[in-house]
Structure 1
Amino acid sequence: MTSNTPYNPDPHAHPGLAAIALLEAGKAVLAFLAAAGLEISGPAPLRNIINALIHRVGGDPENGAFSSLLGMITPDTVHLGAAVLVAYGLLRALEAWGLWRARAWASWLGCISAALYLPLDIYAIIKHPGWASWLLLAVNVLVVWVLARDIGKRRKH
């Protein structure tokens, strides 16, 4: 069944896709900056941050699992973390490019990846209710809705 209005493949005809593309591009930039920060700073600042978090939750960084966690923060694990951040950034950049160009595969990629976050967003609201948790859920629901709508329009035509 087709609609009377044809699907417009012009990327500028889809402001929702462009807005999501900019959001994803922002995520990519942040991931690249975080990766660069890890590589530049090395493991010591990361250990200090983890150590402060352990103290904040009342843990003992000298004994038990927390001690093991701090021991795992080595130059190699920092390189691995930076590599994972670069891979994430590349995925987000690829999605941003595809959405900016109104590619169907990018709508699918974005819809699936945003939908995967929804259970985590709901969990965050249960554990840490507040405006930030609700805002994150609302943004992800909106992204899934816009991209699912785009996919649906494409399937009709």
Structure 2
Amino acid sequence: MEATPHTSPVATHEEAATAESGGIHDRGLLAIAIFKMAKSAFFFCVGMGAIHLLHKDLGDEVLKLAKILHRDPESKIVTLVLEKVDLVDAHRLKQLGIGTFAYSALALTEGIGLLLERTWAEFLTLGLTVSFLPWEIYELIRHATWVKAGLFAINLAVLGYLIWLLERKGTFAKARQKWFHAR
């Protein structure tokens, strides 16, 4: 397939790969893409929540939430949350909002790239997944929960699948070949 003036050779190669598969999306990549986009939506909502809480009394907000959830305001959990919320100021909320919006944008980029079956997105997801593993292992050792263990297992499955897929497609071999011929 020849590259036209409006397409790059990489895009043409990826389009050819999709055409060869009959236009059917890789189900594993589709599942990972949906997971990444759901994660993006979650962190976007967390960022919006942080921005919404700016210039509000967080203690009052916790008490309102406890009332909505029919929790005793003097219970151990509400008291613990109230103690921790006192440590959060407007600057920290801004940092949290900016950080979660940035992570949301990154997860959305991964998800869209994987949905379009772009090799760069597979490598981006592979790199980001590997980079978070030490932190996840540390958190599991420090205080293991079922949620942390489940997320760790999902990330290991994503990592394994992407390595398998990139090996199957011969992408690692092509990257090594380009890297060593360019030097």
- Does TM-score exceed 0.5, indicating one fold? yes
Q: Classify 1:83/1:133 alpha carbon distance in 2 versus 1 (closer, same or farther; 3 Å).
A: closer
Q: Which of residues 120, 127, 147 is equivalent to 1:105?
A: 120
1:150 paired residue number: 165
Kindly state the Cα deviation for residue 150 of structure 1 after the two structures are TM-superposed: 2.2
TM-score normalised to structure 1 length: 0.72
Aligned residues: 139
Q: Which runs of 5+ in 2 are unaligned?
A: 1-13, 63-75, 175-183
Q: Secondary structure at the match of 1:12?
A: coil
TM-score normalised to structure 2 length: 0.63
- Measure, in 2, the Cα distance between the counterparts of 1:137 and 1:110: 15
| RMSD over aligned Cα atoms | 3.1
2:17 paired residue number: 9
Higher relative contact order (CA 8 A, sep 6+): 1
1:60-79 equivalence runs, <5 A: 70=87, 73-74=89-90, 76-79=91-94
One-letter identity of the residue aligned with 1:73: D
Q: Which runs of 5+ in 1 are unaligned?
A: 1-6
Runs ≥4 residues deviating over 6 A: 46-49
Q: Classify 1:133/1:39 alpha carbon distance in 2 versus 1 (closer, same or farther; 3 Å).
A: closer
Q: Which has the larger radius of gyration?
A: 2
- Measure, in 1, the Cα distance between the counterparts of 2:154 and 2:59: 29
One-letter identity of the residue aligned with 1:93: L
The question of 1:45 aligning with 2:58 is answered: yes
Q: Which of residues 29, 34, 40 is equivalent to 1:28?
A: 40
1:47–1:73: 8 Å Cα contact kept in structure 2? no
One-letter identity of the residue aligned with 2:103: Y
